[in-house]
Chains A and B, each alone.
Chain A
Amino acid sequence: MQVPAPFAYERATSVEHAIELLSRHGPEARVVAGGHSLIPMMKLRLAQPDALIDINNLSDLSYIRVEGDQLLIGALTRHADLLDSAVAGEHFPIFRDAEQVIADPVVRNFGTVGGSLCQADPAEDLSAAFAAVGASVVARGPNGSRTIDVRQLHAGPYETVLEPNELLVEIRVPIRPGGGSAYEKVERRVGDYPVAAAGAVVWLDGDTVAEAGIGLTAVGAEHFAAPEAETALRGRPATDDSFAEAGRIAAQHCHPQPDQRGPAEYKRQLAVELTTRALRRATARARGQEA
């Protein structure tokens, strides 16, 4: 029987209260959101926090709405809510694509969007999706709020740049009309983390790629992104050849690690192919040829 090591448990009643509790309990305290990454790690004693600050009652951190030209997602939004969100799906089908294949329907009922980003698992799906769409996150600490480019959020595997007493409260995604987005994942079985996955967003200027965003996960892409491929694609014709070339460039900058999900070369090949497919589908959506 797997049981976590003992810890103190506190339930936050507001964002301010959560920050105060984190400050009071010190750097060995951890936020628990859905707990679907943290609790398994605690059961295996891979994590042994002194204190857990439960933010599940902060229902004001659970929302998805458009404000101005941004899609705002509260950190405590459950995976299932992002999957079901009409407004998110309308602007960013990439989230629907990704959420359909993140974990399983039951896990999606409790795991959160903010927890996924903060877990910083090198194979996390949403990290790649948010990197592709150029999201930023809002972190709140004792001295107020700051906004962080999601491509600067991860400091390494299982590590973010958040201070121990900072709370991720919101994810902001810029909405620019005329774009299309998509997510492509290869998994060993339903509900598993990806062997590799790629997300893409494309804006067209006629038959030319005006702008593209590419996110990659599980293949050792720095900051879950492929900036070199994005640059190479800008101004190129929106054709399969261009997408395949972007896929090759993206894969060249990856550092996949062999593990139980597959050898490095296989993952690198997946990075090429999944980037190509994501760009192709994002483009079809930008043209209104696919839902």
Chain B
Amino acid sequence: MQITVTVNGTAYTEEVEPRLLLVHFLRQTLGLTGTHWGCDTSNCGTCVVWFDGKPVKSCTMLAAMADGHEIRTVEGLERDGALDPVQQGFMECHGLQCGFCTPGMMMTARSLLDTNPDPSDDEIREAISGQLCRCTGYENIVRAVRWAAEHPAQEEVTT
């Protein structure tokens, strides 16, 4: 079947099998390998992307379900070559070690900050509670998100 999906602002029209999962559409069909694919059981959250502005687990969605919808991936975080404050925060605060969980963490963090620009540590922990990090540990991830909250981008980030 033919689908047209807008990813990071660009519309892509592709022929896909209905059973193709959204995460594989992004990674294999479009070559956007920033989105990771881990547990395959809807638990780890490394595959989180935005679907019409909200974080979802792309291993648990069909590419077909995204037809006519807007997806934003980690590649869409930076603007005109400038890192999103969330990306900068992960660098400043050692929010990643191996980096496997990072794309999903950052997409959820950006969404949290868009709706709640000054979240408490508890609110950050709740927001990422469906996502697993197996090496950095959550302390630094929470610090990274706090850093981003304290250093918002000069211009309003629009999606």
Contacts and interface: CB of A to CB of B under 8 A. Distances in A.
Interface string B32-45: 00000000111101
B1 A9 contact: yes
A35 B130 contact: no
A52 B42 CA distance: 20
Interface stretch (A17-25, A99-107, A117-125, A137-145): A99-107
Nearest to A104: B130
Interface string B102-141: 0000001000000000000000001101110000000000
B157 interface: no
B55 interface: yes
Contacts of A110: 51, 54, 56-57, 60-61
B51 to A, nearest CB: 7
A52 B18 contact: yes
A288 interface: no
Contacts of A6: 17-19
Contact of A107 (B17, B21, B130): B130
B96 to A, nearest CB: 19
B5 interface: no
B83 interface: no
A2 to B, nearest CB: 5
A9 B108 contact: no
Contact of B41 (A5, A40, A54, A109): A40
A69 to B, nearest CB: 33
B61 A35 contact: yes
Interface string A196-215: 00000000000000000000
A107 B64 contact: no
Interface in A23-58: 32, 35-36, 39-40, 42-43, 52, 54, 56
B48 interface: yes
Contacts of B1: 9
Contact of B18 (A8, A35, A43, A190): A8
B56 to A, nearest CB: 5
A36 B42 contact: yes
Contacts of A3: 19, 21
Interface of A: 1-9, 11, 32, 35-36, 39-40, 42-43, 52, 54, 56, 80, 103-107, 109-110, 190-191
Interface of B: 1, 17-19, 21, 40-43, 45, 48, 51, 54-57, 60-62, 64-65, 67, 108, 126-127, 129-131
Which 10 residue pairs spanning A and B have beta carbons closest together? A104-B130, A9-B18, A4-B19, A109-B54, A190-B129, A106-B130, A106-B55, A110-B56, A2-B40, A9-B64
Given A4-B19, A106-B48, A110-B60, 4 more contacts: A9-B62, A104-B129, A106-B108, A191-B130
